[in-house]
Structure formats: structure tokens, C-alpha cells
Chain A
Amino acid sequence: MNEKELVEKAQNGNRWALEQLLEENYNFVYGFILKLSMNEEVTKDITQETMVKAITNIRKYRGDSKFSTWLVSIASNTYKDSLKKNRAIPTEIEELNLFSPQNTENEVILKDQIEKLKRSLLELPESQRKAFILKHYYNFSYEEIAKILDCPIGTVRSKLHYCILKLKNMLDGGA
């Protein structure tokens, strides 16, 4: 069953169809928020809130964009709201269990590298970070990112460009 059919069924109150849609997009939403917040607890909360909002508002989805685009815009706004509410977005970056390195030496090097990258990402302004994550990790088109961030395509390109310049500078060892 394709996405359109699932959406149609979900909008008519079919729980199984809605479950399928949410399950198919779960990893993507979770990964997006995890990269955005760098915190697993916050990610779990926001992912769940996103799912709740998607369930209660499924009839409002017009189908003019991919379901994943709609879902990620909910996740993006939920994250933004949680920042506004000052809800525990930790200043300390928590340790994420990402890999099982082969030996201790590798583990130390990788942890250092990961810390550096996480800090680099978290130092970027929220909207630039969102644009970068959506383009770099999920290959969303500029048009889709513009829809999600509710800004013109030109602004998306500028955000991404400045983000790349900052990352380049940070990874080169700059401030």
C-alpha cells in the first residue's frame, strides 16, 4: 500500500494505517531530533509529542507535501516550542551510545571526534542547524526545507552556506 492510500485510510480513522505511517517515519524523526538536540531524553520526549500531534491532526494534513515533510515540520516546531518553554534542553552534551569500537584507543579517538562534532553542531544557530541536518543527512530539497522552516528558498541556501562556512572554520580549529 502506498503512502497516499495509507494517508487516506488514516484520515478516515484507520488506526493501522496511521501506525504504519508513523512507524515508517519514526527513525527519521528520532534521528533528526537527536542530531538537533544531541540528547536522548529530550529526543524521546519530542518524538513522542510529535507523534501525538500527528495523530490528533492527521485530518489537517493536505497531502501537498510528503508525509515525512509534514511530520518533520511538526517535530521542528515542537522542538522550537520546547526551547521557548525553556524545557530542559541540557547545556551539557550527553554521551550518546553510537558505536561499539574495536579497542579502547579507537574508542577514545572516536569519542573525542564525536564530542568535537556535536559541539560544532550545537554552536550553530537553531535554524541553520535544522537546514544543515535536513539537507546533509536526509537530502531534503531546498523547497522542502523552505516549507519546513517556513522561509524562502534563498534564505535556506544562505543558512546552509553560513552553516558550512562556520563548520569549516570550527573543524579547521577556529573559534
Chain B
Amino acid sequence: MTDLEAAVAAGVLGADEAHRALLQATVEVARAIFGAKAASVFLLDEEADELVFEAVAGEGEGDLIGMRFPAGTGLAGWVLTTGEPLVVDDLSADTRWSRSAAESTGYVPKSMMAVPLLVEERALGVLSVLDRPAETKLRLAEVDLLGLFANQAAIALDLLQRARRARAALSGEGRLAPLARVAARLEEDERDTAFELLAALDRLLAETR
């Protein structure tokens, strides 16, 4: 990797890491607010029509990231497809679900709150909070709070996806990769001229439009 490619990639990569940290902080705060055993964010991979574990706090932290399942199935999948928040208090009663959860994650929660992550009109994924304290009675205000919180998680998820797309465009076979490579080949003293040339091209394009 050339210098500038590396520099550009590092900038975007840094953003990627910062946004991942923001998302991680979001699930950690969600877990803390609700006094829950775990909280997680699933990202919708539209191409594959799958949900992917993107951030996990608490039970399953570290093991689940990257795990996938079909977007139309499981509690998170139904929240995504109905667009409606859902709270389930006795997951063990759903034998199909608890079996599949146990097989895939090794952890079978008793309860789950889940809301869709929406940015403008796009559904990006699902935020879920597992095993809030069983002794406190659920109030609808908590569901509303989770909805508000989902808004924040959705923004973090959106930023992460944008950073990833930028990185993909600037590196390897990405459409903007040649730009990064050309700039990287230039000697230090050639750069000013190259950037002036680019600025001139930009002005020209603006005028001809």
C-alpha cells in the first residue's frame, strides 16, 4: 500500500473504528439503562437479506460479532419486517426460538425487547435488549425510551456503514482508488501542482454544467 493510499485508508479506517466504538458504547449504555444482561445491534445486510451481529454488550460479547441469520426469521427479523417494536417476556416458551438461540449463541435469554433501527426511511437493523430485571414490571415508557434510544443507535450504525463504503471506494478495486493511487505516486513538491490541477478541473466542471 502506498503512502497516500495508506493515509486515506487510515483516515477512513479511523472513522470506521471510531464509529464502531460509538456503536459499542451505544449498546453498553442501552444495557446499563435497562439493567439488562445483554444488548446488541444487528445490521441488515440487504444484499444477502441477512441480519449480522454488529455490536454486543454483556452476554455473548466478543463471540457473536459477525454471526448471521436470515432477515425474516427470529425475533429480530420480525421486528425488522413488521417495523414494530416488540417485547417478549418468556422466550423459553418459544421452543423453536430458544433452541436455535442456544445452538447459535450458547446463551438463551428469558426476555427480549427489540426495536427496528431506522434512519429516515431506511431500516438499517435492529437493537435488542436481553433479560431486563424480571422483578420490575415493564412499563410502556420503557418501550418508548428504547425507541428513542434506537434513534441514536441507528445514527451510529449509519455512520459506520458510510465509513465502510468510503473505505471500499478508496481502496483496492474501488472506483475512487485510482485517485488515491495517483496522489500517492506524486513527490512531495508535485502535490501542490496536482491539487491545483484538480481544483481547476473542478472549476471547469462547475462552469460547464
Partners in one complex: no
Taking Cβ atoms with an 8 Å cutoff, the residues of B that contact A are none
Binding site for B on A (CB under 8 A): none
